[in-house]
Amino acid sequence: MTLFANSPVKSFVVARVASGLVSIFFISFLVFLGTSMLPGDAANALLGQNATPETVLALRTELGLDQPLPVRYFHWLGNALHGDFGTSLSNSQPVINLLVPRLINSLILAFSAAVIVLPLAVGVGLLAAINRGKAIDTATGSISAIFLSMPSFLIGYLLVFIFAVKLGLFPPLSMVRSSASLPTWISALTLPVLTLVLVAQAHVMKLTRAAVLGVMSSDYILMAETKGIPRNRIILKHALPNALSPIVSICMITMAYLIVDVVVIEAVFNYPGMGKLMVDAVAYRDIPMVLACGVLFSTIFISLNFAADFLAMLVNPRQRLPRKGN
């Protein structure tokens, strides 16, 4: 309780929670407005082009699509605040029942990638910082630059072409059921997880290297070097603990971007996660489903960014000290 009695920490938490709630509200409104402005609606998407105008009108009335946009949005928002995200327009099932299994699949994909990428990329970043200017530093920097310049969907398609089409080692699509065996899950997850790892490791490695080298330019590090202390020992015993705050932030923000990246990766591999569900919902103009997915994605992203800043504050005690007045 002493930590939260500290006014900077308490002010930080209150301000970030308030801004997060406001952000989620505006994101939900923008998602609703953007989906509503797409050509056609759920009635057209469900009935197809051969439906008569009378049939389309009857279905629009049944689904409540004939009401004004503000009425529909605030009706959804009021229900959502009570935990009711509505009924899917495409299959008449409660949104929450469809969303939870897909969310679990997305979290499995994202956390599988995180378990691999975070220790790997942080370790490679430290190795590059220790060997600054040497061949290993140049090699890791060049490889990271290549993956940073490529969009994630392109990396996914290249992996499918190499490992699924040419070598036949893994399935090109990751369509799995929850009842599938563990080897089936591992085989289906390999290419999507590898794609996420290649995308994220470049960011984490470069930022870790930059954080450590930034600390290495400090006066006390330069003093240690003049005393003849080995560079490896300086980095591990002095620079790394002081670079821990930005590294923790990097790791948490990477988790946030992995959650967002699954939208693209799931579409590429047809993986049955929340991102694929959202893409399908947009195609059917299923506004309640799109809204629920958008709000959930934004909540996870905002929460992980908040956790990154909060953990960075805990690691760095100077950020918890009250600021003196001018």
- Please give, one letter per residue, the 3-state secondary structure of 164-205: HHHCCCCCCCCCCCCCCCHHHHHHHHHHHHHHHHHHHHHHHH
Helix (H) or strand (E) holding 28: helix 7-36
Per-position b or e across 173-183, b if 16+ CB within 10 A of its CB: ebebeeeeeee
Nearest CA to 274 among 255, 249, 254, 292? 292
Measure the CA–CA gap between 300 and 320, rounded to whole angstroms: 25
What DSSP assignment string belongs to 108-168?
Answer: HHHHHHHHHHHHHHHHHHHHHHHTTTSHHHHHHHHHHHHHHTS-HHHHHHHHIIIIIIIS-
Amino acid at 237: K
Question: 10 Å Cβ neighbour count for 69?
Answer: 12
Residue with tokens 């490529």: 150
Confidence (pLDDT) at 43: 66
What pLDDT is stored for residue 46 in this prediction?
A: 64
Domains and CATH numbers, the chain: 99-316 (1.10.3720.10)
Q: Which two tokens stand for residue 191?
A: 């290419």
193: CB partners within 8 A, 6+ apart: 109, 112, 113, 116
| Sequence-distant (≥ 6) Cβ neighbours of residue 231 within 8 angstroms | 130, 225
**Residue 218 DSSP class:** S
Global pTM reads: 0.76
pLDDT at 326: 43
Interatomic CA distance for residues 205 and 322, integer angstroms: 33
CA pair distance 170, 161, nearest whole angstrom: 10
pLDDT along the chain (326 residues), means of 10: 59 82 88 76 64 71 74 83 80 85 86 86 83 84 84 88 89 75 83 88 82 74 74 71 72 78 84 84 82 86 81 63 49
Number of C-beta neighbours around residue 31 at 10 A? 21
The tokens describing 35, both together, are 């989906």
Q: Residues 156, 192: contact at Cβ < 8 Å?
A: yes
